[in-house]
Amino acid sequence: MSNRMCSGTALIFTLAVTCFGSCTATIGERLPEAGYRFAVTTIGTDSTVAAQGQDPKTTPAGQGGQEPSAFERMFAGKTAQDLANQFPSVSAQTFQEAFRDAVVQKQTKEQKADSLSGFNFGTGIGATFDLHHGSRVKAASIRDGTVRIDEEGDVQLGLVLETHYFVEIGNKRLAGIGPFVAIKTGENDLIDEAGLGVMVGFRRTIEDTNSFNIGVGVMVDPDAEVLADGFIANQPAPAGATDVATKKEERFSFAIVFSYTF
């Protein structure tokens, strides 16, 4: 059974509690330093804690993965009646009200927390890498009777608009993962490529509504420009040709997408 103590019940105890913030006492959780001050101020455990080798005013409560302190072991996992029996000067009802207020505060905070799960949109940049044999052609010419590609288009950058569906991962609710679909702009086209893949998103706190996202997938360009039949890069041009002929075809690319959700 998990029990909690918090300074939301400061009016029940003493005005001094409000000066030190909130505190909790639960199984598997660490009491902040304010928790020591809470107990010292409201229950008067200086002598009890000191007798177990702890300084309630200065000792951090098992932070950074340390073993629980004697103070934590004294409070963690106890019922209101357990604490009332341990500290006869404070009634079980008072402890019970403190626990109830702590639960309400926790539920309120969780309700206010935004979730990464579900559909959302992001904007950013994307890079695509052509997966086919033979280069995309941006500019080509015939020099000394040989076909030369003056500018290739196998790697391209562009603005990206994407939508994704995340499922939260991890207990801290700071990351999500799921599928995405995206469109990428080109130099001359509003929509140059479109694709899909898998994306992960990260945020700093559960209250944040924005996230930084990284996705990998495949994009398709339905009208990529390549050399026409008969024209091969670095090979003699077809007889009589003075200019390089090109054609358009469907091409797939590996894509990396970096986006930001506001």
- On whether residue 238 sits in a domain, the answer given is yes
Q: Which residue, 135, 39, 18, is CA-closest to 90?
A: 39
Specify the higher pLDDT residue, 255 or 28.
Answer: 255
Asked if residue 132 and residue 90 are part of one domain, the reply reads no
Asked if residue 80 and residue 195 are part of one domain, the reply reads no
- On whether residue 68 sits in a domain, the answer given is yes
What's the pLDDT tens digit per position in 20-30? Answer: 333 333 322 33
What's the pLDDT tens digit per position in 161-194? Answer: 999 999 999 878 899 999 999 999 987 788 999 9
Asked if residue 102 and residue 83 are part of one domain, the reply reads yes
- On whether residue 104 sits in a domain, the answer given is yes
Distance CA 33, CA 35 (A): 5
Asked if residue 76 and residue 144 are part of one domain, the reply reads no
What's the pLDDT tens digit per position in 80-138? Answer: 666 667 767 666 666 566 666 656 666 666 655 677 899 999 999 999 999 998 899 99
pTM, entire model: 0.57
Asked if residue 60 and residue 37 are part of one domain, the reply reads yes
Instruction: Give the residue-averaged pLDDT of 225-244.
Output: 94
- Total domains in the fold of the chain: 2
Distance CA 126, CA 215 (A): 9
- On whether residue 1 sits in a domain, the answer given is no
- Residue 146 above 90 pLDDT? yes
Q: Which residue, 51, 20, 52, is CA-closest to 36?
A: 20
Asked if residue 251 and residue 166 are part of one domain, the reply reads yes
Asked if residue 38 and residue 64 are part of one domain, the reply reads yes
Q: Cα separations (Å) of 3 from 28, 69, 100, 152, 165? A: 11, 17, 9, 66, 36
Asked if residue 131 and residue 248 are part of one domain, the reply reads yes
Asked if residue 183 and residue 132 are part of one domain, the reply reads yes
Domain that holds residue 178: 118-261
Asked if residue 172 and residue 89 are part of one domain, the reply reads no
Residue 46: the pLDDT is: 36
Asked if residue 144 and residue 174 are part of one domain, the reply reads yes
Please list, residue by residue across 220-234, b when 16 or more beta carbons sit within 10 angstroms of its beta carbon and e when fewer do: ebeebbbbeeebeee
Specify the higher pLDDT residue, 218 or 26.
Answer: 218
